[in-house]
Amino acid sequence: MQFTMRGIISKIFKAHRSAPPGVVISETDIDAVLNHLRRLPYRTATPASWDRQRLLLLIRECIGKKPVIGQFNEIAPGVFAVIKPMGVDLTNYHDSHGRYQVWLMIRSWGTDLARITDL
């Protein structure tokens, strides 16, 4: 079998393009979301470990097997996720190593109907 440098590089690039990027999430984001969800008024009590497993499963299901940078998803009541390149929010972090990061955003429940604005 004969190998050429061009053939080897071509195989590496093909494998890199077809492999899904690694996806990470901040533990502090997970903790904040779990605290938010546990405070919802209509929530039933469940074990803390189940809450964490369920949240991670919901996030995985929402982002899918091929996440896209900028993809925005509703995860749970008042919880949203957006896909970003790993480290985009860090100064002097220039190499994401092909990984993505899930940013979680929380919106508190309960709209004050006396304080709304028409758009």
Per-residue pLDDT tens digits for 60-83 = 999 999 899 999 999 988 899 999
**What percentage of the chain exceeds 70 in pLDDT?**
71
Residue 47 forms part of a structural domain: yes
Owning domain of residue 97: 23-106
Residue 87 forms part of a structural domain: yes
Residue 35 forms part of a structural domain: yes
Q: Which two tokens stand for residue 101?
A: 């990061």
The type of residue at 97 is H
Average pLDDT score, the chain: 80
Q: What is the pLDDT of residue 89?
A: 72
16 has pLDDT over 50 = no
Q: Look at the chain and report how many structural domains it folds into.
A: 1
Average pLDDT over residues 30-43: 86
Rg of the chain taking only CA atoms, in angstroms: 20
What span, in angstroms and rounded, lies between the C-alpha atoms of 82 and 116? Answer: 26
Q: How many CB atoms lie within 10 A of CB 63?
A: 20
User: Any idea what DSSP says for residue 37?
Assistant: H
Residue 118 forms part of a structural domain: no
Helix ranges restricted to H, the chain = 5-18, 27-38, 48-63
Residue 85 forms part of a structural domain: yes
Residue 112 forms part of a structural domain: no
Q: Which two tokens stand for residue 114?
A: 């006396």
Q: What is the pLDDT of residue 102?
A: 94
Q: Strand, coil or helix: what is 42?
A: coil
Residue 18 forms part of a structural domain: no
Average pLDDT over residues 24-44: 87
Residue 1 forms part of a structural domain: no
Per the listing, tokens 């919901």 go with 58
